[in-house]
Amino acid sequence: MSKTRIAMVTAAAAAILATAACGSSQSPSTDRDSAAAPASVPPPAATPTPQATPPSATATDRPTAPGTTATGKPSASATGGQKNAKPGTDTQRDASGKPGTESATESGTPSGKPTPPTQSPTAPTTSAKPSTTAPPKPKPSATEEAKAKYDPRCMTGRAMCIDKTTRQLTWLIDGVPQYSFEVRFGSQELPTREGAFKVDFKSKDHVSTLYHTPMPYAMFFSGGQAVHYSPDFAANGYKGASHGCVNVRNKPLVEKLFAESQVGDKVIVYRS
């Protein structure tokens, strides 16, 4: 049974082949040429050579600024979801869109509040103003003070300068005051004469021949008028008056003047 089936299949196949060969319009030479020519195989496609990436283009070689990605664009955390900032401005805007505020920084400053600058207090600068105070005047010398204070006739030589206004007798040598003391003058009935005089004579223990009163350390300059020590002036002061003489109550100084003065020294009696 199997052999019969195989034979039938073989016969059918041979019939089909014969029919196909009869229906073909091509010549046997053409079929041979086409059968002999091998089919053309397309050339293999060229494999592209990978190019080396330059070192400068790698993300690891370029330092990444804080808040930016490897491509140089600001990261989402740095911008805080903000819109693109206008070129030429450095002011960031917070979530509300107000300029001058920043998002929370690493130090923990709350977002939306500007960070006040830390400045150390400095002393206010004041411009120097020119001084309006006049420089102190130099202190006048003793001679200059004497010129302003005493009669000009007392400024030369040796002089007893007697001022009836200040009731002072000053002993001057070449315009320089040596010392001063208080004096008392005569009454209105017996005034002490004023003017320029000189010492006529000296008497240490003199007694008045008219009034019979003591006149110690007397230095006469105008008749019977003299500069001398007065115990009454020492005891009563200006309550009394002399008979025209110049009374002195400072005994030590009148003794000193009596010892230093000479006949011929000037005696100037005046009012300042």
Residues with active-site annotation: 228, 245
User: For strand 266-270 and strand 158-163, is the pairing parallel, antiparallel, or unpaired?
Assistant: parallel
**What burial class does residue 90 get, using C-beta atoms within 10 Å of its C-beta: 0-12 exposed, 13-18 middle, 19+ buried?**
exposed
Query: DSSP class of residue 132?
Result: -
- H or E segment at 180? strand 176-184
Calpha distance 150→34 (Å, rounded): 162
- H or E segment at 10? helix 2-23
Calpha distance 235→9 (Å, rounded): 191
Helices of type H across 132-250: 142-149, 231-236
Among all chains, which residue has been given the structure tokens 């053409």?
30
